[in-house]
Amino acid sequence: MTEREKMISGALYDPSEAALLAARNAAKEQCVQYNSLPPSAADQRDALLRGLLGSCGTHVLIEPSFFCDYGFHIHVGEHFYANHNLVILDAAPVVFGEHVFIAPNCGFYTAAHPFDVAQRNAELEYAKPIRVGSNVWIGGNVCVLPGVTVGDNTVIGAGSVVNRDIPAGVLAVGNPCRPVRSLQERGE
């Protein structure tokens, strides 16, 4: 099994393996190009983004600066907007539904390190996918950790650390992030 196959399967893998390193460097080069384009180069920026991401809808905007590890594991639905300073560490798939809005300074991290000291010191890591449903709003400075699913029609409050699944149709806040109320109760 290759290191990429291990990474995709969720097994421990070596991120310094040559093919993975080359893929990350290529994505980072594209991010540098994307982030350096002026707002007047919207068409060029859009083309770069579409070449970087695994898939995306027709109405997608990520404000610079944007950084990711590979790009090809990121899948974005229609009407996606992310404000400045988005970081997606996509060693595993990161899938966003339609009508997702992300405030500034948010991070989605699929990569994790083992608790076992010997494995960690051997510079091994593993990755778990992240899924964000449709009609989701994520407030500023939110951190979404490996393996999390955020349900449809949910709002994640600013500053939250999302370390477990969040159901559909709720307002969830805090560290750790947890649902505080249903959004259907008030017809929101």
Residue-wise pLDDT tens digits, 12-59: 999 999 999 999 999 999 999 999 999 999 999 999 999 999 999 999
What is the CATH superfamily name and number for domain 3-182?
Hexapeptide repeat proteins (2.160.10.10)
Catalytic residue among 79, 84, 99, 113: 113
Residue-wise pLDDT tens digits, 73-122: 999 999 999 999 999 999 999 999 999 999 999 999 999 999 999 999 99
Residue-wise pLDDT tens digits, 138-159: 999 999 999 999 999 999 999 9
Which sequence spans correspond to the domains of the chain?
3-182
Q: What is the 3-state secondary structure (H, E, C) of the chain?
A: CCHHHHHHHCCCECCCCHHHHHHHHHHHHHHHHHHHCCHHHHHHHHHHHHHHCCEECCCEEECCCEEECCCCCEEECCCEEECCCEEEECCCCEEECCCEEECCCCEEECEECCCCHHHHHCCCEEECCEEECCCCEECCCCEECCCCEECCCCEECCCCEECCCECCCEEEECCCCEEEEECCCCCC
pLDDT value of residue 184: 78
Q: Give the pTM.
A: 0.95
Specify whether 113 is catalytic: yes
